[in-house]
Structure 1
Amino acid sequence: MQQRTRRILAGTIAAAAVTTSMTACRGGANADDSSGTPKVSIMVGGIDKVIYLPAKLTEQLGYFKDAGVDVDLKTEPSGASAENVMLAGQVDGVVGFYDHTITLQAQDKCTESVVQFAKVPGEAEVVSTKAAAVSGAADFKGKKLGVTSPGSSTDYLTQYLATKNGTDTSAYTTVTAGAGSTFIAALQNGGIDAGMTTDPTIATAVDKGLGKVLIDMRTEEGTQAALGGLYPAASLYMTCDYVKKNPKTVQKLADAFVKTMTWISTHSAAEIAAKMPQDYAGGDPALYEQSIKDSSPMFTTDGKMPDGGPETVLDVLGTFSDTVKAKKDTIDLSKTYTTEFVDAAK
Structure 2
Amino acid sequence: MVKRTRWASLLLTAVLMTITAACGTAPVTETAAKPSEAAGTKVEVKTEVKKPEELKTVKFSEVIRSIFYAPHYVAMHKGFFKEEGLNVDMNTAQGSDKGAAALIAGVADISLVGPETAIYIYNQKGDKTLKIFHQLTVKDGSFLLSRTKLDNFKWSDLEGKSIVGWRPGSAPQMVMSSMLQREKVKADVVTNIASPAMAGAFTSGKGDFIQVFEPIASSLEKEGKAYYVAALGQAFGTFPETSYVATADYIKSNPETIQKFVNAVAKGTKWLNTASPDEIAEALTPFFEGTPKDIIIQSIDRYKKQDTWPAVPEITAEQFEILQKMLIENAVLKPEQKLPDMGAVVDMSFVKNIGKGK
Q: TM-score, normalised by structure 1?
A: 0.80
2:142 aligned with 1:123: yes
| 1:1-346 alignment runs, 5 A limit | 14-20=6-12, 37-47=55-65, 49-108=66-125, 110-129=129-148, 135-167=153-185, 172-179=188-195, 182-218=197-233, 222=234, 226-227=235-236, 229-278=237-286, 280-296=288-304, 297-305=307-315, 308-322=318-332, 324-346=333-355
Deviations 1:67-102 (A, max 9, x none): 012221111222222222222211111112223223
Question: How far apart, CA to CA, are the structure 1 residues paired with 2:204 and 2:80?
Answer: 42
Instruction: Give how far 1:137 is off.
Output: 3.9
Residues 140, 175 of structure 2: 8 Å contact kept: no
Instruction: Give how far 1:251 is off.
Output: 0.9
Distance 1:317 1:138, change over 3 A: farther
Distance 1:299 1:129, change over 3 A: same
Partner amino acid for 2:7? A
Residues 163, 188 of structure 2: 8 Å contact kept: yes
Instruction: Give how far 1:50 is off.
Output: 0.8
Instruction: Give how far 1:283 is off.
Output: 4.1
State the SS of the aligned residue for 2:269. helix
State the SS of the aligned residue for 1:120. coil
Distance 1:134 1:78, change over 3 A: farther
Instruction: Give how far 1:139 is off.
Output: 4.5
Distance 1:177 1:214, change over 3 A: farther
Residues 142, 173 of structure 1: 8 Å contact kept: no
Partner amino acid for 1:99? E
Question: How far apart, CA to CA, are the structure 2 residues paired with 1:175 and 1:283?
Answer: 26
Question: How far apart, CA to CA, are the structure 1 residues paired with 2:96 and 2:154?
Answer: 26
- Tell me which moved more, 56-65 or 103-112: 103-112
Distance 1:150 1:193, change over 3 A: same
State the SS of the aligned residue for 2:137. coil
Question: How far apart, CA to CA, are the structure 2 residues paired with 1:67 and 1:325?
Answer: 41
Provide structure 1 residue ranges, at least 5 long, that are not aligned to the other structure. Answer: 1-7, 25-34
Distance 1:192 1:91, change over 3 A: same
Distance 1:186 1:251, change over 3 A: same
Instruction: Give how far 1:341 is off.
Output: 0.7
- Tell me which moved more, 239-248 or 328-337: 328-337
Instruction: Give how far 1:274 is off.
Output: 0.8
Q: How many residues align?
A: 314
Provide structure 2 residue ranges, at least 5 long, that are not aligned to the other structure. Answer: 17-52
Deviations 1:101-125 (A, max 9, x none): 2333333363222122111112222
Question: How far apart, CA to CA, are the structure 2 residues paired with 1:139 and 1:99?
Answer: 30
Instruction: Give how far 1:261 is off.
Output: 1.3
2:37 paired residue number: none
Partner amino acid for 1:17? S
Partner amino acid for 1:67? E
Distance 1:293 1:149, change over 3 A: same
Structure possessing the higher radius of gyration over alpha carbons: 2
Partner amino acid for 2:256? K
Residues 79, 152 of structure 1: 8 Å contact kept: yes
Deviations 1:181-220 (A, max 9, x none): x3332222221222322100111122223323333134xx
Question: How far apart, CA to CA, are the structure 1 residues paired with 2:224 and 2:85?
Answer: 46
State the SS of the aligned residue for 1:103. helix
Instruction: Give how far 1:260 is off.
Output: 1.1
Distance 1:53 1:190, change over 3 A: same
Partner amino acid for 1:38? K
Question: How far apart, CA to CA, are the structure 2 residues paired with 1:167 and 1:198?
Answer: 22
Deviations 1:161-184 (A, max 9, x none): 12222245xx6242434446x333
Question: How far apart, CA to CA, are the structure 2 residues paired with 1:11 and 1:139?
Answer: 31
Relative to its length, the structure with more helix (as a share) is: 1
